[in-house]
């Protein structure tokens, strides 16, 4: 029975590999992630506004939690593209002024709902509160 199970699992893995290769070749993309995601759920997600500001980000977070909306792949790529140079310019160690409030957050495991709860309980990042994320 164990041998049959192992053979079945090997067959499933081989079929998945063939399906991925076929999908990548039909899409014209060598990168499977791009070809899969652009045709999947992220192709119908929220678009970012032209100007990204605090209120817009909070609204998007709330829509993601309340309505289960997702971010469109193009918007996700834009967030990454705009964040990378900002984050790269920041030093690895941040000195925090004594009079500022610091909130330390444990590992959220990717939960946008938990992130939003933390922000609503302790305040949104900004001039009066700094956040340290562990994990």
pLDDT tens sequence across 4-15:
666 666 666 677
Q: Are residues 33 and 52 in the same domain?
A: no
pTM summary value? 0.59
Say which DSSP state 43 is in: G
Number of domains the chain contains: 3
Q: Are residues 79 and 48 in the same domain?
A: yes
Give the number of other Cβ atoms within 10 Å of residue 105's Cβ: 15
Q: Are residues 107 and 74 in the same domain?
A: no
List the domain range (segments joined by +) for residue 109: 93-135
Kindly report the average pLDDT of the chain as a whole number: 78
Q: Which residue has the tokens 């009066």?
A: 128
Q: Are residues 97 and 135 in the same domain?
A: yes
Residue 58 has pLDDT above 70, yes or no: yes
Q: Are residues 46 and 8 in the same domain?
A: no
**Using an 8 Å Cβ cutoff, are 84 and 70 in contact?**
no
What is the phi/psi pair of residue 10, to 5°?
-65, -40
Q: Are residues 16 and 46 in the same domain?
A: no
- Using DSSP's 3-state secondary structure scheme, residue 25 falls into helix
Per-residue confidence band for 29, with pLDDT thresholds at 50, 70 and 90 = very low
Q: Are residues 1 and 31 in the same domain?
A: yes
Q: Are residues 110 and 130 in the same domain?
A: yes
Q: Are residues 81 and 97 in the same domain?
A: no
Q: Are residues 76 and 110 in the same domain?
A: no
Looking only at the bridges linking them, the beta strands covering 101-105 and 129-133 are: parallel
Q: Are residues 50 and 86 in the same domain?
A: yes
Q: Are residues 31 and 10 in the same domain?
A: yes
Residue 28 has pLDDT above 60, yes or no: no
């Amino acid at each position: 029975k164990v041998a049959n199970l192992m053979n079945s699992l090997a067959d499933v893995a081989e079929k998945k590999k063939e399906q991925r290769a076929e999908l990548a070749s039909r899409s014209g993309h060598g990168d499977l992630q791009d070809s899969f995601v652009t045709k999947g759920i992220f192709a119908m997600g929220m678009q970012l506004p032209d100007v990204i500001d605090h209120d817009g980000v909070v609204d998007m977070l709330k829509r993601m939690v309340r309505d289960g909306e997702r971010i469109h792949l193009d918007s996700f790529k834009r967030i990454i593209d705009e964040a990378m140079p900002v984050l790269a310019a920041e030093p690895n160690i941040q000195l925090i002024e004594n009079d500022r409030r610091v909130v330390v957050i444990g590992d959220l495991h990717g939960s946008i709902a938990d992130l939003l709860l933390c922000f609503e309980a302790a305040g949104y990042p900004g001039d009066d509160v700094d956040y340290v994320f562990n994990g």
